[in-house]
């Protein structure tokens, strides 16, 4: 079997490969390296019901940020 080139494989195909071959650590690490953005915004998980009040605003901000990147 020939060695797969994970660096050129489209994201969806690599994801499916990882799901089908969960023991392939190299493929999983390549996926993480390729598709983990250094400037990603990470929002903390809500700790209470009150924290969810800001969700619509945060969601809208994230959608606008994604539109600008496209």
Question: What average pLDDT values come out for the chain (70 residues) when binned by 10 residues?
Answer: 81 95 95 82 78 83 82
The token duo for 6 is 């994970």
**pLDDT given for residue 26 in this prediction:** 94
The token duo for 63 is 């959608």
The span from the first CA to the last CA of the chain, in angstroms, equals: 37
The token duo for 53 is 């009040």
Which backbone phi and psi does 4 adopt, to 5 degrees? -80, 145
**pLDDT given for residue 42 in this prediction:** 74
**pLDDT given for residue 15 in this prediction:** 94
**pLDDT given for residue 2 in this prediction:** 55
**pLDDT given for residue 16 in this prediction:** 96
């Amino acid at each position: 079997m020939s060695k797969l080139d994970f660096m050129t494989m489209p994201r969806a195909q690599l994801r499916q490969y990882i799901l089908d071959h969960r023991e392939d650590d190299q493929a999983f690490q390549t996926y993480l390296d390729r598709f983990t953005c250094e400037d990603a915004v990470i929002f903390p998980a809500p700790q209470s019901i009150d924290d969810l009040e800001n969700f619509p605003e945060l969601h809208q901000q994230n959608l606008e940020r994604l539109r600008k990147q496209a």
